[in-house]
Structure 1
Amino acid sequence: MESPLKNFAEVARKFCAWAETQPVSTENEVKTAIELLANLSSAILATSNLGFGEDLEGERISDEEWRVTYNRFGFLPFNYYSTFFNPANVGKEEPVIGDLADDLADIYRDLKAGFWLYDRGHVKEAVWEWRQSFQTHWGRHATGALYALHAWSTNESIQL
């Protein structure tokens, strides 16, 4: 059986590879996004916290690389969706606008920073980077995007 860390790295590489390819069709892109986002979230939660390791930070992709990725995700059937910063705060805050391309491009950037460490043998540091950035950043992007894409596909009668 594959270790949870290797499984996460495999799923994360699939997400990054998808982000680096040209879109196929709207329906295929939506299905792929839903599958990868669900698998990423599940896989990172299955990993163990290995501690901090050395004080290293993964190299982040440039703003230009991020913009290319953002534009690539513009192929999806919609870009903006309604969401809340704290959905449990019912009736106490106004909805805000989520940006699907921003969600996916930010996830890509955070995963790539972890791979910069992982591929150089800094496994403990990579796991900390991925888990910490999931908790504080890309986890919200992943769950928001997953919710929006699932709702859209249901409304459009797309079979998942």
Structure 2
Amino acid sequence: MSDAMLHAVNQDPDDFAVQIADSIESFIVAVTEVAKGDEPDSAVPFLLLEVSQLLLTGGRLGAHEDIVPDERYEPDTGPEPDVDDLRERFGRMLEPVDVFSEVFDPYEPRKAPVAFRISDNIADIVTDLRHGLAHYRSGRTTEALWWWQFSYFSNWGPTASATLRALQSLVSHVRLDQPLAALDGLDTDEDLAEEALAEEAGRVMAEEIAAPLGLHSP
């Protein structure tokens, strides 16, 4: 086991919780600011950075020993804050490239790609993280850590990983001056096989999306 992993496992729980909570709150604040649309040309690079940093936090949670909550049943955190506005803002901002395809489980043989939306994913991640923050702000530190660790494995971790791959692909296509496959007409409600995805994919030149996304070839 590496020194970094040993440090994560043996770290004082209070210090660990503060660092995790600070990172998670920073992510929520940052993506909320990006969604305001004040700097739309920088949205994709900013999201690439923020999701990358969040996954480092997730990795620390994943490397930590199993966190066991203090109570048998999860305390009620009250109504979940609405994320529809965040979802819709990102949907409009990323409309040319919001939909992407992803293999949900790379270890499941011959799994067909599934359509996702970056805007949906960001909103879902924020929902999971806010739920844990509600516990943390109510003084239920262990419950918060348990929730963040559990949901990292079950939902927001895979969702953030898929989103990161999509964002990194967008930046790479433009920086490497390569055409980008656009899934014209692809809907996340459709269940399409790999061949159907290939038929749906249209070709657009990288420069057509570079300007609105704030990405420029060197």
* TM, length-normalised to structure 1: 0.85
1:8–1:40 CA contact under 8 A, matched in 2:
no
Letter in 1 for 2:113: P
1:20 has 2:37 as partner: no
Classify 1:19/1:133 alpha carbon distance in 2 versus 1 (closer, same or farther; 3 Å): same
What is the match of residue 9 of structure 1?
Answer: 21
Correspondence 1:64-75 to 2 at 5 A: 65-74=82-91, 75=93
- SS of the equivalent of 1:118 reads helix
Q: Higher Cα Rg: structure 1 or 2?
A: 2
Q: Percent identity, aligned pairs only? A: 23
Instruction: Tell me the number of residue pairs that the alignment of Structure 1 and Structure 2 aligns.
Output: 155
What is the match of residue 138 of structure 1?
Answer: 156
Please report how far the alpha carbon of residue 108 of structure 1 lies from its aligned counterpart in structure 2 after TM superposition: 0.3
2:98 corresponds to which of 54, 79, 84 = 79
My pick for the range that moved more, 112-121 or 44-53, is 44-53
Classify 1:154/1:11 alpha carbon distance in 2 versus 1 (closer, same or farther; 3 Å): same
My pick for the range that moved more, 93-102 or 130-139, is 93-102
- SS of the equivalent of 1:156 reads helix
My pick for the range that moved more, 127-136 or 71-80, is 71-80
Letter in 1 for 2:39: S
Correspondence 1:55-66 to 2 at 5 A: 55-57=73-75, 58-59=77-78, 61-62=80-81, 65-66=82-83
Letter in 1 for 2:87: Y
In structure 2, the gaps of 5 or more residues are 1-13, 176-214
1:60–1:110 CA contact under 8 A, matched in 2:
no
1:60–1:112 CA contact under 8 A, matched in 2:
no
- SS of the equivalent of 1:20 reads helix
Please report how far the alpha carbon of residue 27 of structure 1 lies from its aligned counterpart in structure 2 after TM superposition: 4.2
Classify 1:97/1:60 alpha carbon distance in 2 versus 1 (closer, same or farther; 3 Å): farther
What is the match of residue 9 of structure 2?
Answer: none
In structure 1, the gaps of 5 or more residues are none
1:81–1:98 CA contact under 8 A, matched in 2:
yes
What is the match of residue 124 of structure 2?
Answer: 106
* TM, length-normalised to structure 2: 0.64
1:8–1:43 CA contact under 8 A, matched in 2:
yes
Task: Give the superposed CA RMSD.
Answer: 2.2
Please report how far the alpha carbon of residue 28 of structure 1 lies from its aligned counterpart in structure 2 after TM superposition: 2.0
Which 4+ residue blocks in structure 1 deviate beyond 3 angstroms?
A: 47-50, 57-60
Please report how far the alpha carbon of residue 31 of structure 1 lies from its aligned counterpart in structure 2 after TM superposition: 1.8
Q: Show CA shifts across 1:35-85 (max 9, x none).
A: 2211111113224443122222444524xx221111122213521001112
RCO (CA 8 Å, sep 6+): is it higher in 1 or 2? 1
CA distance in 1, matches of 2:161, 2:79: 22
2:128–2:156 CA contact under 8 A, matched in 1:
yes
1:59–1:113 CA contact under 8 A, matched in 2:
no
- SS of the equivalent of 2:101 reads strand
Please report how far the alpha carbon of residue 7 of structure 1 lies from its aligned counterpart in structure 2 after TM superposition: 2.3
